[in-house]
């Protein structure tokens, strides 16, 4: 390890005053507990640490009222003026020679190309240098530059930038070096540089459709994707020593290097052209879902930058065409095991599952680095009936706020992947991200502890249609209602429906006065394709409702609008959609008011929600049925439940292995 100065994150403790006879005495009256950059902690003498970084020690002494103690008094002049101390602290953190070493998987990462040789020498290998040579060879292979000559001036109309080395360590300890363009040094471009990625909802839908229509699901990524495209930005740089005989030359960048403002868009344009050439077209439902007709169904390619998920009769045929037509270098996987942060595996009976165990493992590793220990395990995300908005504990300091925001962001991504069972808890805690309290951080730790205990939760892609034949068919005539003979408006430009039919099911619920401070209710909505949970919503409502009837009607209205969106999404993906969507709620008054033409609205402020739901039922888009609250899986999206109450509602969807057959899911 190369260290010429002490490099530590913070001072976290002290003991003293000590005498020479004390076993802890180490040449100084005081010892400081130092948190080093590699996450280790050791006791070090005050005299040594103060000599290395007097500003940080003075700040610690002032915060802990130690500056009048022997050994600390000489630091009082530094700590006397608050503004000056803060300025000196900032300068100390960014001063040359004080750059902190970075570690990943126990391997020190270079802080720049200048450290590469020294680190390799200290480690007795050439891993980092080999990684740099590999990157430079790649640039040579893709002909990324044009040589304008040694010490050549910047060509007219071009901007001179720098290239920056970015280093990383993979899980198998392979070293990775990437040379990134300093695009931040260029003027903002006038054209849009937006390059989209497939949404997780669209991705899950395509996986479901692949399973439904007996397609094979594969994944691949494009090697050195951006280098496949040409840049339109006019930029040059001066080659450094790592370029060998080209050192000092002005090189014109011609390929879309990582870091340039428009590189993402340039690659997206290139691969889009290739997909069109091999017969795919982008769906109106999601421009990063590409589809083509094949043997009575549709095949799909989902793009997430340079990662591809393919649902086809034979994904290898798609990869072959991409290689032949686009000349891409693809790393393909037989089947799919890990994609966009989620794990794929199959239950013993072959049911495909999409979980977050790997992501949770990484979350726990970050948690341990933050707090020095693993979280305690819990049976539920939050205590039943808990109201974090009433917490009056002390506000967190800046470090605590950063930890809170890091954890809440990680939990939100876990929800996005598949873990809707923590959606309500994460939604509840998300509102405190700007000013969290200590009690709020403890609640986040509890949610992480719940995921630690139940890390195997996963969406099961169950494709059997649910059997709703036992439900009573509503025998009502809406002809003379205010809606008349209304019909669902089907977009005229949808592709021809192909493949097997899909039945949509929606569960909806509301929790009156979920927030005791603002009076806002919470609503929860769970959408199913056949027997597969495909999307969920848990949020505070935008209006304050004074009765459960009102909050449930607002939730039903939002669910109806989401159903309309989901039905159109499926149609634009070429899916035959069952005529009716089945919606289930546990408020009998709302179901009755929605389904009977002669019912009368008594609360005028709910007018629009009332008519939105009823018109969807009149147009035969919806069938709205009542179920007991104890059987409504949307209940976990609106309130904090005990394990005994929540488990029967989430187990069939996230933890019950295998197909459910034609089980009635109402």
More confident residue, 606 or 664: 606
Which one, of 68, 70, 309, lies nearest residue 200 by Cα? 309
Q: What is the pLDDT of residue 271?
A: 96
Contact (Cβ atoms closer than 8 angstroms) between residue 471 and residue 597: no
Report d(CA 426, CA 539) in Å as an integer: 10
Which runs of E-coded beta strand occur in 162-313? 163-169, 175-181, 216-222, 235-238, 249-253, 281-282, 289-294, 297-304, 307-312
Is the pTM higher than 0.75? The answer reads: yes
Token representation of residue 317 = 């045929």
Span 4-37, pLDDT tens digits: 344 567 788 888 888 888 888 877 888 888 877 6
Res. 98 pLDDT band, cuts 50 70 90: very low
Res. 368 pLDDT band, cuts 50 70 90: very high
CA trace torsion 614, 618, 623, 628 (10° rounding): 30
More confident residue, 639 or 78: 639
The mean of the pLDDT values for the chain is 89
Which one, of 522, 556, 536, lies nearest residue 640 by Cα? 522
Residue 99 has pLDDT above 60, yes or no: no
Instruction: Strand 330-333: give its sheet, edge to edge.
Output: 281-282, 289-294, 297-304, 307-312, 216-222, 330-333
Res. 487 pLDDT band, cuts 50 70 90: confident
How far the first Cα of the chain sits from its last, in Å, is: 61
Q: What is the pLDDT of residue 666?
A: 40
Residues 6+ apart with CB under 8 A from 148: 155, 236, 249, 250, 251, 252
CA 277 to chain centre: 32
Report d(CA 131, CA 126) in Å as an integer: 9
Contact (Cβ atoms closer than 8 angstroms) between residue 624 and residue 594: yes
Q: For residue 299, list its beta bridge partners.
A: 292
Report d(CA 356, CA 414) in Å as an integer: 7
CA Rg value for the chain? 30
Report d(CA 528, CA 665) in Å as an integer: 10
Q: What is the pLDDT of residue 92?
A: 53
Residue 89 has pLDDT above 60, yes or no: no
More confident residue, 606 or 500: 500
Q: For residue 33, list its beta bridge partners.
A: 13, 43
Report d(CA 659, CA 362) in Å as an integer: 29
* Residue appearing with tokens 């899909």: 502
Q: At what angle do helices 588-595 and 607-618 cross, to 10 degrees?
A: 60
Res. 65 pLDDT band, cuts 50 70 90: confident
Q: What is the pLDDT of residue 495?
A: 97
Q: What is the pLDDT of residue 86?
A: 60
Span 504-530, pLDDT tens digits: 999 999 999 999 999 999 999 999 999
As a whole number, mean pLDDT of residues 52-73 equals 83
Span 162-177, pLDDT tens digits: 999 999 988 678 999 9
More confident residue, 99 or 567: 567
Q: What is the pLDDT of residue 422?
A: 98
As a whole number, mean pLDDT of residues 205-212 equals 98
More confident residue, 657 or 4: 657
Report d(CA 422, CA 636) in Å as an integer: 8
Span 294-321, pLDDT tens digits: 999 999 999 999 999 999 999 999 999 9
As a whole number, mean pLDDT of residues 41-58 equals 80
* Residue appearing with tokens 């009837």: 549
Report d(CA 582, CA 34) in Å as an integer: 60
Report d(CA 148, CA 146) in Å as an integer: 6
Helix (H, G, I), strand (E, B) or coil at 66: coil
Q: Which backbone phi and psi does 497 adopt, to 5 degrees? A: -65, 130
Contact (Cβ atoms closer than 8 angstroms) between residue 414 and residue 348: no
Contact (Cβ atoms closer than 8 angstroms) between residue 286 and residue 487: no
Q: What is the pLDDT of residue 5?
A: 42
Nearest 5°: the CA angle 105, 308, 302 is 125
Q: What is the pLDDT of residue 383?
A: 96
Q: What is the pLDDT of residue 665?
A: 40
Q: What is the pLDDT of residue 136?
A: 95
As a whole number, mean pLDDT of residues 575-600 equals 89
Residue 607 burial by CB count (10 A; 0-12/13-18/19+): exposed, middle or buried? exposed
Residue 433 has pLDDT above 90, yes or no: yes
């Amino acid at each position: 390890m190369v260290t010429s100065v002490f490099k530590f994150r913070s001072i976290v403790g002290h003991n003293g005053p000590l005498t020479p006879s004390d076993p802890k005495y180490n040449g100084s009256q005081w010892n400081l507990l130092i948190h080093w950059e590699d996450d280790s902690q050791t006791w070090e003498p005050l005299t040594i640490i103060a000599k290395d970084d007097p500003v940080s020690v003075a700040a610690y002494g002032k915060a802990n009222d130690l500056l009048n103690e022997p050994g600390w008094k000489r630091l009082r002049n530094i700590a006397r003026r608050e503004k000056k101390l803060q300025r000196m602290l900032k300068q100390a953190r960014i001063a040359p020679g004080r750059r902190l070493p970075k570690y990943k998987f126990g391997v020190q990462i270079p802080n720049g190309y200048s450290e590469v040789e020294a680190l390799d020498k200290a480690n007795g290998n050439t891993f980092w240098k080999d990684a740099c040579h590999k990157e430079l060879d790649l640039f040579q292979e893709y002909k990324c530059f044009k040589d304008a000559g040694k010490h050549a001036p910047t060509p007219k109309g071009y901007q001179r930038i720098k290239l920056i080395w970015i280093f990383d360590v993979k899980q198998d300890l392979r070293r990775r070096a990437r040379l990134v363009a300093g695009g931040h040094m260029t003027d903002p471009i006038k054209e849009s540089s937006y390059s989209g990625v497939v949404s997780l909802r669209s991705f899950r839908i395509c996986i479901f459709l692949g399973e439904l229509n007996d397609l094979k699901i594969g994944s691949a990524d494009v090697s050195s994707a951006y280098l496949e495209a040409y840049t339109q930005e006019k930029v040059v740089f001066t080659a450094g020593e790592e370029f060998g005989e080209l050192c000092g030359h002005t090189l014109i960048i011609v390929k879309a290097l990582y870091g340039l403002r428009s590189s993402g868009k340039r690659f997206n344009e290139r691969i889009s052209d290739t997909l069109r050439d091999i017969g795919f077209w982008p769906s109106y439902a999601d421009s990063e879902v590409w589809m083509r007709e094949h043997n009575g169904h549709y095949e799909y390619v989902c793009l997430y930058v340079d990662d591809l998920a393919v649902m086809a009769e034979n994904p290898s045929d798609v990869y072959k065409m991409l290689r032949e037509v686009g000349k891409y270098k693809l790393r393909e996987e037989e089947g799919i095991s890990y994609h966009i942060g989620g794990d794929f595996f199959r239950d013993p009976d072959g049911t495909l599952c999409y979980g977050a165990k790997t992501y949770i493992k990484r979350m726990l590793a970050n948690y341990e680095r933050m707090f020095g220990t693993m979280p305690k395990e819990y049976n539920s995300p939050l205590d039943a009936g808990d109201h974090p908005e009433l917490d009056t504990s002390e506000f967190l300091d800046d470090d605590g706020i950063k930890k809170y925001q890091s954890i809440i962001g990680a939990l939100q991504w876990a929800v996005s992947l598949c873990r809707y069972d923590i959606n309500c808890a994460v939604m509840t805690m998300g509102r405190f991200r700007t000013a969290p309290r200590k009690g709020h951080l403890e609640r986040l730790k509890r949610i992480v502890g719940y995921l630690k205990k139940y890390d195997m939760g996963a969406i099961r892609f169950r494709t059997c249609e649910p059997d709703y034949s036992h439900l009573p068919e509503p025998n009502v005539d809406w002809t003379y209602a205010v809606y008349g003979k209304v019909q669902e408006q089907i977009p005229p430009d949808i592709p021809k429906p192909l493949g097997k039919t899909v039945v949509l099911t929606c569960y909806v619920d509301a929790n009156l006065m979920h927030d005791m401070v603002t009076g806002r209710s919470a609503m929860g909505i769970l959408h199913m394709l056949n027997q597969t949970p495909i999307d969920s919503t848990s949020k505070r409502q935008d209006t304050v409702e004074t009765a459960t009837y009102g909050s449930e009607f607002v939730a039903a209205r939002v669910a109806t609008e989401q159903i309309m969106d989901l039905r159109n999404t499926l149609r634009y993906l070429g899916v035959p959609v069952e005529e009716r969507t089945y919606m289930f709620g546990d408020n009998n008054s709302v179901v009755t008011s929605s389904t009977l033409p002669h019912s009368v609205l008594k609360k005028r402020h709910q007018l629009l929600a009332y008519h939105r739901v009823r018109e969807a039922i009149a147009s035969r888009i919806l069938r709205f049925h009542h179920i007991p609250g104890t059987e409504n899986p949307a209940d976990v999206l609106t309130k904090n439940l005990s394990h005994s109450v929540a488990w029967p509602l989430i187990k069939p969807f996230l933890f019950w292995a295998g197909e459910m057959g034609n089980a009635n899911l109402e």
